[in-house]
Structure 1
Amino acid sequence: MRPAQAIHNWQMDQKADLNMPEQKPQYVSAFRALSVYIKPHRWSFIAVFCCTLIAILTELLQPYLMKIAIDDNLLAGKNDYRGLIVIAVIYLGLSLSTLVFSYIQNNLLQNVGQSIVARIRKQLFDHIMKQSMGYFDRTSSGSLITHVSSDTEALNQFFNQVLLSLFRDGLTLIFILVMMFQLDTTLALYCLILLPIISIIAIAFRSFMRSTYQLARTRLSRMVAFVAENLSGMHLIQAFHQQKEQERQFNERNGLYFKANLREIRTNVVFGRTFDILSNLSIAFVTWIGGRAVLGQDLEFGVLYAFITYIRQFFQPINTITQQWNTLQSATVAVTRIWSVFESKPEVTDREEEEASEPRAKKDDELRQMTLTTERGEDASASLQSLDGVKGDIEFEHISFNYEEGVPIIRGLDLHIHAGEMIGVVGTTGAGKSSLISLLCRFYDVKEGSIRIDGTDVRDIPQSTLHRLIGLVQQEPYLYSGSIVDNIRMFDESITREEVIAACEFVGADAIIAKLPGGYDTKLSERGSGLSAGERQLISFARIIVFKPKVLILDEASANLDSHTEQLIQQALHVVSQERTTIVIAHRLSTIMQADRIIVMSQGEIVEQGNHQELIELGGQYCELYEHSQGLSAS
């Protein structure tokens, strides 16, 4: 069952600050959401419950044994050493039992809690990976990092600390009350006066503590997001000497988080110390009431001793529960934030996922209608799945697209790219060039019209197949931590080392890699730091070659290359583009001058198209761009 289905009616908006309207905590909904994960471990939880029960009983029987030893032996004037030895042996056995069953209980709960949190963390990461590009446009990377790391850790503390406290300390309170009434009903009733006082204090602190913990976590998330954004843009910060300004902004966020933490600590201390004072007053009260009863011979001294011991034990679980209150608050907020991610749905999905909930008859009927190809004679899905039958004919049919409502990026564009054709795309910034490529790769879906590959709408092609069909080389290549071989084959063991080396030789990267200390086994750090922009681009180009796409896209891929490296790319591109549909977006017109056709885009529309010579003779926007690139006057 998907997490979102378990809590489809449960939503709780996060508060950005204390000034936002207070929302009622929804603990029941939080536990209902977690029940999906808890259910497979129900037998382990039953075992934890049994071990906890035994550990509590063995611990609470110890004061009762002391009461027997005092009243029935020592104060009774008996010299039954054998009886005392038996009581001592039983006492030791109870102590050892408490230790053993507490150990088993803790290990079982730790194992279950870690398993559940690991599963949630895995599903959370998988769910984030399935989101469309629009989701990452709206959500900061720092917030997502907080969800995967900090929020899941808060959930881990819930299972390993809060849940254990609820099990153990809750049962302890119940059994202590039972033992008190067993010893003396009157004294137990006096002790019950404490319960409403405890409840009043807890209620008084509850709302304030929740808002305090919410504020601290919100400010932590903002600080993490700020740090993540600064690390990713460090080159820009240093280039414009923004270190002081960014340090000032970080100190401001860090100061706010510091104040929120201090407020949280002060709240926790006041809450805990209030119960300490109440505990000491209660012991003094029981000692006074019980002492008078013992002096009046209305109460046995052993009973009073046991009562004082139980009163101390009574406040220990309460203190433990209150100390875990902030953890419970943090866990509840963390669950809310995690499930807000789970509730997000990808905007771009495969047809099978969209139709999963439809009646089977309707689904089968629509699947039959999807078996159309260019000639309508063979199964489109099968031909695309094999990749071998794909020619690479691309058609943009009257497409329109916008990121925000009312702000069109592409307007009614029509474009037909023949199989094996090399197309150059140029235009000023904001013309819609990269958006056109994003739509072809289906990072976003068109608002109107359709995009077809070999006559099949890209929305009918599984995304995994589509992304194997299309090879994309971007302006800023991304390299992972790992060896050069793994970065080129993207950790796909089915691609051999020999194929990787051949691809590098093909694009001219072999000579560069040979100079590295470990050759092809050289370990790269995050984003390939230590390599030049050209070297990273060559490696990303080799990556495309080993996957043998039917459609090749270069999105400003030569923008950061020196002339020598650009020449290597041009030579490789000339060979790679043979019998392969190629789309090249470039600011450097030298990259596309040899293209079969060049299209010029402006404000989301194609305003010119033709080969280099035709567009020069036309004397339009392309001619103007060319003259600027050559340092000539536009006039």
Structure 2
Amino acid sequence: MEDLRNGSKADGHQPDQPKTNNSSAYKGLYQYAKPHLWTFLGVFGCIIVAIAADLLQPYLVKVAIDDHLTKGDKNANTLFLIAGIYLLLSVGGFVFTYLQNNLLQYAGQSIVASIRKHLFRHITKQSMSYFDRMPSGSLITHVSSDTETINQFFSQVLLSVLRDGLTLVFIIVLMFQLDVRLTLYCLILLPIIALNAIAFRSYMRKTYQMARTNLSRLVAFVAENLAGMHIIQVFHQEKEQQKQFSERNQTYFRSNLREIRTNVLFNRSFDMLGNLSVAFVTWLGGNAVLGHSVPFGVLFAFITYIRQFFQPINTITQQWNTLLSASVSMNRIWSIFDTVPSVQDKPGAAVDISGVKGQIDFNGVKFSYTDDQPVIHHLDLHIQPGEMIGIVGTTGAGKSSLISLLCRFYDVKEGSVTIDGTDVRDIPQEKLHRLIGLVQQEPYLYSGSIVDNVRLFDDAVSREEVMQACRLVGADVLIESLKDGYDTLLSERGSGLSAGERQLISFARIIVFKPKVLILDEATANLDSHSEQLIQRALAVVSEGRTTLVIAHRLSTIMGADRIIVMRQGEIVEEGKHRELLQQGGYYEELYRHSQGRIEASGKPGSGAPAIEAG
């Protein structure tokens, strides 16, 4: 069953997502930037002042040369005044540049923080089918790396466009003011610059897209291997996984080098154009100075402006790769924003769950993960409030799929699943998940204290309630033996605690949140006999007064159930109490003998009853 759900991950490729064009991504980004309009206006004002301060400095030198030095003016006071103004302009340029950078960083970081928050919230609202298709490493890249690239759009690209773009305009105005003929000669290079940018644009976009995609696949592979490291080591797959990692790493290395080579070639071509233009202006202007048609101060200022003219152009072109990366990242992020959960609440759905008793009905349910491979076939199952139901069957029987439909991780293809007669599709998911408590084979514990793990960081649950819940399930002895007791900090997944101890903490969660329906999905599969006894006692406590569904790997877990459901290939083939099913001598009796290791003794060698696992 896992193969069906995770098939799109197996090849390491990104699953298909809604295509998002640049315009819609930029429109979405604008909505996040809109609240910071006044900050951007402040940035714009600081840029104007800083540019004016920088560009007036060569003009002051031109005035000092042409109006004073070359004319033999010996009035030192005037030169001191010009020098003082020059110094003030330098200080003013520094101050306003500092202000513009800080204001822009504040706005950019605020926007990215908001995007990151909404992106995480949107991802958590996706249906389980989305996470079946989407590698976790890719999602990590989107939340961390792609959002940081958008921050670079504001701190580098936007700043460069505003500051360097305005610098170009002001320089051209000042150059025309100094000498029209020299300015027109310099502007001949603008079409060459435009053609150079257009020629590189398409190729550069492909190289940046490939580099980002390969990085995402590399991160996804690492995340997958870290999550399954115990399997890799048990089956001695370190060399094979290292080989696959090396291949992916080499692919990313090559795409990165290709990106860098393209970037260097693009930037150096502009350096060459800039140097040629300075040499051209020096030759042309030098002849004019020797011919006394252009003052030396004008030539000095002109050469200075020419150097400053190509500097912002070069800076803008250097930000081209950042712009492309930001565009790719924005498209990837907004493609997630455009992804609509396959399981959604009905508009205006409002159901009172305060009086729910816990009656569950599966009415003619048909379900499949893919259209051509049905998992559950027209299943009917009716469970009374407070009843404990054991569910057994072989791999692929549909047991876990049945539970997923009840939790509404997926929607049925046909039929309905109801709780107290209300279709789960009519119950808001937030309320539905408060009705159902789920304990899985591998309980997930978060980084934090034991108290926070039991109450799942919900401050509405008091510390006393947590301690009472732990006492009821028998976890208090374990917790009090720890150095910091309930304040003991756990690492991710609760490493350092045994499987049974982690399960006890997950059972305490059930007591705290008081769901009407309790589901145990292979909760005792990985436990030793002693831990299983502890869990059995805890189960007796948490299941009291609750409708309980237990998917069992070990039949000993459900022998005392009110009813046992035996599933095979998506259908219920047997139903009854433990002893009744054994007396029938059917499929359950065969599974029971297999679980007891008595296949050979039964006179049915090779009957091939498979191990009982989650379906």
Alignment TM class, shorter chain as reference: over 0.9
Residue 516 of structure 1 and its aligned partner are, at CA, apart by: 2.2
Match of 2:369 in 1: 403
The aligned amino acid for 1:535 is: E
Q: How does 1:238-387 map to 2 (within 5 A)?
A: 238-352=233-347, 381-382=351-352, 384=353, 386=354
The aligned amino acid for 1:49 is: F
Distance 1:98-1:466 versus aligned 2 partners, 3 A rule: same
Q: Show CA shifts across 1:239-277 (max 9, x none).
A: 101111111111111111111111111112222222222
The aligned amino acid for 2:327 is: T
The aligned amino acid for 1:571 is: R
CA distance in structure 1 between the partners assigned to 2:488 and 2:33 by the alignment: 44
1:182 counterpart = 2:142: no
Residue 25 of structure 1 and its aligned partner are, at CA, apart by: 11
The runs of at least 4 aligned residues of structure 1 exceeding 4 Å deviation read: 24-29
CA distance in structure 1 between the partners assigned to 2:541 and 2:275 by the alignment: 86
Residue 26 of structure 1 and its aligned partner are, at CA, apart by: 5.7
Q: Show CA shifts across 1:263-298 (max 9, x none).
A: 111112222222222211111110110010011010
Q: Show CA shifts across 1:207-255 (max 9, x none).
A: 2211111111111011000000000010100010111111111111111
**Aligned-partner SS, 1:274:** helix
Match of 2:89 in 1: 94
Match of 1:430 in 2: 396
Q: Show CA shifts across 1:164-200 (max 9, x none).
A: 0000000101111110000010111111111112112
1:596 counterpart = 2:562: yes
1:566 counterpart = 2:543: no
1:109 counterpart = 2:104: yes
Moved more, 534-543 or 337-346: 534-543
Residue 29 of structure 1 and its aligned partner are, at CA, apart by: 4.2
Match of 1:11 in 2: none
The aligned amino acid for 1:53 is: I
Match of 1:517 in 2: 483
Distance 1:98-1:25 versus aligned 2 partners, 3 A rule: farther
1:449 counterpart = 2:415: yes
Match of 1:362 in 2: none
TM-score between the two structures when normalised by the length of structure 1: 0.90
CA distance in structure 1 between the partners assigned to 2:227 and 2:20 by the alignment: 36
TM-score between the two structures when normalised by the length of structure 2: 0.93
Q: Show CA shifts across 1:338-395 (max 9, x none).
A: 011111111111112xx6xxxxxxxxxxx7xx8xxxxxxxxxx22x1x3xx2111111
1:191 counterpart = 2:157: no
The aligned amino acid for 2:386 is: G
Identity %: 70
Match of 1:623 in 2: 589
**Aligned-partner SS, 1:276:** helix
Q: Show CA shifts across 1:137-157 (max 9, x none).
A: 010001100000110011011
**Aligned-partner SS, 1:305:** helix
Which of 453, 471, 483 is residue 449 of structure 2 equivalent to? Answer: 483
Which of 64, 73, 83 is residue 69 of structure 1 equivalent to? Answer: 64
1:154 counterpart = 2:149: yes
Q: Which runs of 5+ in 1 are unaligned?
A: 1-15, 18-23, 356-366, 371-380
Match of 2:4 in 1: none
Which of 504, 520, 526 is residue 492 of structure 2 equivalent to? Answer: 526
Instruction: Give the conservation status (yes or no) of the 8 Å contact 2:473–2:541.
Output: no
Q: Show CA shifts across 1:557-593 (max 9, x none).
A: 0111111111111122223322211111101111111
Distance 1:28-1:87 versus aligned 2 partners, 3 A rule: farther
Match of 1:358 in 2: none
**Aligned-partner SS, 2:544:** coil
CA distance in structure 1 between the partners assigned to 2:38 and 2:536 by the alignment: 64
Match of 2:405 in 1: 439
Match of 1:542 in 2: 508
CA distance in structure 2 between the partners assigned to 1:55 and 1:441 by the alignment: 60
Match of 2:612 in 1: none
Match of 1:378 in 2: none
Q: Show CA shifts across 1:413-443 (max 9, x none).
A: 1111001111111111110000101110111
The aligned amino acid for 2:193 is: I
CA distance in structure 1 between the partners assigned to 2:20 and 2:374 by the alignment: 41
CA distance in structure 2 between the partners assigned to 1:426 and 1:285 by the alignment: 86
CA distance in structure 1 between the partners assigned to 2:21 and 2:456 by the alignment: 43
Residue 515 of structure 1 and its aligned partner are, at CA, apart by: 2.5
CA distance in structure 2 between the partners assigned to 1:139 and 1:149 by the alignment: 16
Q: How does 1:9-158 map to 2 (within 5 A)?
A: 27-158=22-153
Residue 27 of structure 1 and its aligned partner are, at CA, apart by: 4.7
RMSD: 1.5
Distance 1:25-1:63 versus aligned 2 partners, 3 A rule: farther
Q: Which runs of 5+ in 2 are unaligned?
A: 1-12, 605-615
1:578 counterpart = 2:544: yes
Q: Show CA shifts across 1:44-81 (max 9, x none).
A: 11121111111111111111111111000010121121
Residue 28 of structure 1 and its aligned partner are, at CA, apart by: 4.2
CA distance in structure 1 between the partners assigned to 2:366 and 2:281 by the alignment: 80
Q: Show CA shifts across 1:437-463 (max 9, x none).
A: 111011111111111111111111111
CA distance in structure 1 between the partners assigned to 2:513 and 2:495 by the alignment: 24
Which of 586, 610, 613 is residue 576 of structure 2 equivalent to? Answer: 610
CA distance in structure 2 between the partners assigned to 1:337 and 1:97 by the alignment: 41
CA distance in structure 1 between the partners assigned to 2:24 and 2:391 by the alignment: 52
Match of 2:3 in 1: none
Distance 1:203-1:253 versus aligned 2 partners, 3 A rule: same
Residue 508 of structure 1 and its aligned partner are, at CA, apart by: 1.9
The aligned amino acid for 1:489 is: R
1:210 counterpart = 2:176: no
Moved more, 257-266 or 468-477: 257-266
CA distance in structure 2 between the partners assigned to 1:475 and 1:549 by the alignment: 19
**Aligned-partner SS, 2:411:** coil
CA distance in structure 2 between the partners assigned to 1:468 and 1:540 by the alignment: 15
CA distance in structure 2 between the partners assigned to 1:30 and 1:88 by the alignment: 49
Residue 31 of structure 1 and its aligned partner are, at CA, apart by: 2.5
CA distance in structure 1 between the partners assigned to 2:281 and 2:545 by the alignment: 93
**Aligned-partner SS, 1:593:** coil
Residue 397 of structure 1 and its aligned partner are, at CA, apart by: 0.8
**Aligned-partner SS, 2:410:** coil
CA distance in structure 1 between the partners assigned to 2:27 and 2:504 by the alignment: 51
CA distance in structure 1 between the partners assigned to 2:513 and 2:479 by the alignment: 20
